[in-house]
Amino acid sequence: MKVPTDELHRRLTGYLRRRKVDDLPGVTAVARIDRRTKRLTKRLKPGEIAIIDHVDVDRVSAEALVACGAAGVVNVAAGISGRYPNLGPQIIVEAGVPFVDNATPELFERVRDGDLVRLHEGVVYLGDEIVGKGEAQTADTIGAAMAEARAGLAVQIEAFAINTMEYVRRESDLLIDGVGVPDVRTAMEGRHVLIVVRGYHYKEDIAALRPYIREYRPVMIAVDGGADALLEAGYTPDVIVGDFDSVSTKALTCGAELIVHAYRDGRAPGLERVEQLGLTAVLFPSTGTSEDIAMLLADDKGAELIVAVGTHWTLEEFLDKGRSGAASTWLTRLRVGSKLIDAKGVSRLYRSRISTPSLLVLVVTALVTMGVAVFSTPVGSIWLGDAWNAFVFWLVGLFS
């Protein structure tokens, strides 16, 4: 097929430009740009450079960037602001991915999504032009920043406590009496409930829980992107809770009961998307997080045990949420109490009700019982006698 002259010229020019850039130092790749890291990782491909605007890069976002195969990460905000020792930048650098922090904010105006850029020693080039500069981070610089952040952690603990008291004031009826928990059609009374959040090590936890899921068949509640995590693992969620900003259409239309996390003033951003898909949903107003209302729902509906995957447990994980509402997570755990258990605890302590030795004993016992039953009948005794005589003659023949 004959290629038009202008198309041939464009391809040749692009090839020569690529060869010229590839000969230069640093990392040369296509740029993917978005102010929301969670949204960017959905379309970031291996070998591309991520340009983000993320204060205090959290662990989940960093692991997602590394898992996507980012060739470099350029952040126009402070990856470690000093509020608390967040682990995101350390994870990126330890994975061998170049990480540039506090870059020129104008990058978002000067670089378009899909542009071919070069990243070298904290400088971003678009062709021969410098379009942005930042601080190239190393293990040493990140270690120093983390040390400073730990020194100021007491201030964040105090702020966390203030936010906690404010949440108690606003949501005391919900926490104490369950006022505001909606009615749902999914039955949870007396059953185990598995709550899945696409958070810390969720893939490993789901894989480790397969024997538990197979035996107990828990009700599966997914929080936003946790629905896609369950589908990827081969399961179908029974309930999906959240504002639906990070869940696929495939998950929303899988047949699960949908519960939209709404604000106390009645606003429910996720409801519009549900209605556009022609689906119905129940509203759950709360100032807490979506994973909190999932736990409160399971507890209110009589769940016997709540197993959590990918949720937040430590203070640093709460602060990683980057919102004052994270204080509700701690109070929710106090409300749910001893029926809540982390997936890691289940996978470490869980054992199948029937162990392998017990199963072997059961099989041998069954075979002996069948043998005795057969021998007790006239036909069985004759058949077993003939079989025994044949065995004796065969054995004698070996030595004669």
The confidence score (pLDDT) of residue 391 equals: 63
Specify the pLDDT at position 1: 47
Please give the average pLDDT of every successive group of 10 residues along the chain, which has 400 residues: 52 50 81 92 94 91 93 95 86 96 94 95 93 95 89 69 67 64 93 90 87 93 94 96 91 96 86 93 88 91 92 62 57 79 68 55 64 60 64 62
Nearest to 229 by CA among 252, 203, 194, 254: 203
For residue 103, being part of any structural domain is answered with yes
N- to C-terminal Cα separation, the chain: 86
pTM beyond 0.85: no
Shared domain check, 79 and 40: yes
Its domain, for residue 363, covers 357-399
pLDDT at 171: 66
Q: Which two tokens stand for residue 373?
A: 């039953």
| Rounded distance between C-alpha atoms, residue 186 and residue 294, angstroms | 13
Pair (283, 259) in one structural domain: yes
CATH number for the domain spanning 109: value is: 3.50.30.10
Is position 316 within any domain?
Answer: yes
Residue 366 resides in a domain? yes
Same domain, 336 and 300: yes
Residues 314 and 364 in one domain: no
pLDDT confidence of residue 85: 82
Q: Are residues 188 and 119 in the same domain?
A: no
Residues 333, 304 share a domain: yes
Strands 192-197 and 219-223: parallel
Q: What is the pLDDT of residue 375?
A: 59
319 neighbors 86 (Cβ within 8 angstroms): yes
- pLDDT reported for residue 381: 62
Q: Which position has the token pair 């060869």? A: 19
The answer to whether 135 and 122 are in contact (CB under 8 A) is yes
On whether both 196 and 345 belong to a single domain, the answer is yes
Structure tokens belonging to residue 102: 């506090």
Residues in the chain: 400
In a domain, 388, yes or no: yes
Residues 118 and 188 in one domain: no
Same domain, 335 and 198: yes
How far is residue 325's CA from residue 306's CA, in Å, rounded to a whole number? Answer: 22
Distance CA 16, CA 19 (A): 5
In a domain, residue 156? The reply is no
Is 170 within the bounds of a domain?
A: no
Q: Are residues 142 and 183 in the same domain?
A: no
Report strand pairing: 305-309 vs 192-197: parallel
- Token pair 């007491």 is found at 154
For residue 339, count other CB atoms closer than 10 A to its CB: 15
Give the pairing of strands 123-126 and 305-309.
Answer: unpaired
Same domain for 57 and 80? yes
Residue 42 pLDDT = 87
In a domain, 230, yes or no: yes
Domain membership of residue 68 (yes or no) is yes
Same-domain check for residues 95 and 146: yes
- If one counts the domains in the chain, the total is 3
What pLDDT, on a 0 to 100 scale, did the predictor assign at position 176?
62
